[in-house]
């Protein structure tokens, strides 16, 4: 093989041998007396740790929870803020009831870990806001959360 053809062939072989580091994923779960949820997303490393294709479910527990807030399915549009780096993962999810009476569910997850650790632990805060007797009232539930972090 001539030197002129050897360089492109060598470059092609080396580029195929390099590991793929383009993406990973996060998945966070909690299951306690106040709530049960599972949220997650693939993570694009080439996009600065952006969470894309976010999805999940929240089950709000308690006697005074409106029927339409007992189980909520989440989509990417509900993830309003996120932060993911080598030691911190933070997500804020906002769900708003369509129609009346006005109501919202906000979930904030904050966990810490080491880059090589498969499970990161932290806290969640779930805020349920509803109009009751003409007045907007908010209840808060907090608890522990575990997140698996890959990539």
Give me the residues paired with residue 135 across strands. Answer: 132
User: Which pLDDT tens digit goes with each residue over 4-51?
Assistant: 543 434 333 333 333 344 568 999 999 999 999 999 999 876 555 678
pLDDT value for 13: 37
Give Cβ neighbours of residue 102 (< 8 Å, ≥ 6 apart): 130, 131, 136
Fold of 21-150: Lipocalin (2.40.128)
Counting beta carbons within 10 angstroms of the beta carbon of residue 4, is it exposed (0 to 12), middle (13 to 18) or buried (19 or more)?
Answer: exposed
pLDDT value for 45: 62
25 alpha carbon, distance to own chain's centre: 9
Position of tokens 């575990």?
146
81: nearest Cα among 103, 48, 108, 49: 108
Instruction: Look at residue 60 and tell me whether its pLDDT is greater than 50.
Output: yes
Ordered by start, the domain boundaries in the chain are 21-150
- Report the mean per-residue pLDDT for the chain: 84
Give the mean pLDDT of 86-112.
Answer: 95
Q: Give residue 106's pLDDT band: very low, low, confident or very high (50, 70, 90).
A: very high
């Amino acid at each position: 093989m001539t030197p002129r053809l050897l360089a492109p062939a060598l470059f092609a072989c080396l580029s195929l041998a390099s590991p793929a580091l383009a993406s990973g994923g996060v998945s966070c779960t909690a299951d306690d007396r106040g709530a049960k949820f599972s949220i997650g997303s693939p993570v694009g490393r080439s996009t600065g740790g952006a969470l894309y294709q976010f999805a999940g479910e929240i089950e709000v527990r308690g006697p005074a929870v409106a029927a339409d807030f007992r189980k909520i399915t989440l989509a990417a549009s509900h993830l309003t803020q996120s932060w993911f780096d080598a030691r911190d993962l933070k997500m804020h999810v906002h769900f708003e009831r369509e129609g009346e009476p006005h109501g919202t569910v906000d979930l904030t997850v904050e966990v810490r870990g080491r880059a090589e650790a498969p499970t990161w632990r932290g806290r969640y805060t779930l805020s349920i806001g509803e109009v009751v007797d003409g007045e907007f009232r908010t209840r808060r539930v907090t608890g522990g959360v575990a997140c698996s972090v890959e990539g």
